[in-house]
Amino acid sequence: MKQFIKIALLSLVVLVSSVNCQNGKRASDSTSGGSGLRSVYFDYDQSFIRNDQTSALQGNASYLKSHGGSATIEGHCDERGTNEYNLALGQRRSDAARNYLMNLGVSSTGVRTVSYGEEKPVCSENDESCWWKNRRADFRR
């Protein structure tokens, strides 16, 4: 029984380390279009804002409120799923990011959303180390 617990704990540590390593740099330095606005990343087949992405959105909100003007939020997906499904998912992602910004006080008049689904990947490898980069919302000025 002790051996089983040791293996289970070791597996849990490896899993948590792997997730933290994989998530750790997802949005730390990723900017959209050189505007100072940061991309936001999503889990597979999800459109909710992850806790580790809120600081990027808070920074984007501050930037947009202080610089004014307009922005477009582009929703993107990885290659899995049909084109139709990914276009809808990309739209839900861009809408979720826009709604988060509105809740932080960004004016809705200058922020529009668009979905590109799987059509504009930033990475084309066929594995998770690449797919996570494509599950995103980019911000363009």
65-84 per-position pLDDT tens digit = 998 878 999 999 999 999 99
- Give me the torsion for CA of 43, 47, 53, 57, rounded to 10°: 160
As a whole number, the mean pLDDT across the chain is: 83
The domains of the chain, with CATH numbers, are: 30-140 (3.30.1330.60)
- Does 4 or 42 have the greater pLDDT score? 42
Residue 51, burial from CB neighbour count under 10 angstroms (0-12, 13-18, 19+): exposed
Give the H or E element holding residue 23: helix 2-24
